Amino acid sequence: MTILSGTMRIAIKFAYDGKKYSGYARQPNLKTVERELVEALVKHNFLKDTKESVFRSASRTDKNVSALCNVVAFNTSTSKKIILNDLSNDFSSTIVYGIKDVDLEFNPRYAKMRQYRYYLPIPSLDIEKIITTSSCFTGEHNFSNFARIGSFKNPVRTIDNIILTPKDGFLIIDFFAQAFLWHQIRRIISALIKVGNGKLEKEQINDALANPDKKVDFGLTPAEPLILMDIKYDFEFEYDKKLLDQLSLFEKNICSSLLKVIH
């Protein structure tokens, strides 16, 4: 890769309502988060194409999954102040609110920590059982029975912490890990729901974790209640405070219809 004189690498942090897009990753003839973002960067001449700029995304969320924080990085000759200012009003369902000069080798996929949040409606569920059983998933496990494992993908992951908070008719479940597998959280949530309504016992969860070659399927919950909350690196982003302050309202709007999604 040839680095032209005057080239910088910029990382931007942004939020989006996943229900307004046909997924995150670029797809032909579909409105996606990544496609809309790249088109805006090209329109403003911040980059010519994704290959030349070494455009990289931190997380490719599933269709209907929202984010209060996702991160992309790209090479450019434009200053971060101009980029943040020009992108701040470009989107109806995305907020670009943070920016940072980073090393030219920086790849946002290699984060220190990711936080996902799932909004689980709590009527008719045994919350104490769910809270007790959730501890089964912390630490290092083979999650073959709780994820969709792609070819040559290592099914072993470490979940550092799971925090459960009853609030406003939801059980808010926050997951913290460096990296997650495809559908991992939504399959864990599905298993926890079955524990909460008496269809599964904690011992069956432990058995599925301890015996990954013994295939079981506990189902997959809807994507809409899942939000990518934060991604941590060895540095802090610089924020537009006015846009940053909008995130709590943005999250509230994303969650406003969730009680209609899961029953």
Q: Report, as residue numbers or ranges, the catalytic residues.
A: 62
- Backbone region of residue 169 per phi and psi (left: phi > 0; alpha: psi in -120 to 50; beta: other values): left
| Closest-CA residue to 94 (of 118, 70, 77) | 70
If DSSP codes are grouped into helix, strand and coil, which group holds residue 137?
Answer: helix
Segment holding 12, helix H or strand E: strand 8-16
Which ranges in the chain belong to alpha helices (H)? 33-43, 80-87, 127-134, 184-196, 202-210, 241-244, 247-255
Which ranges in 111-179 belong to alpha helices (H)? 127-134
If DSSP codes are grouped into helix, strand and coil, which group holds residue 195?
Answer: helix
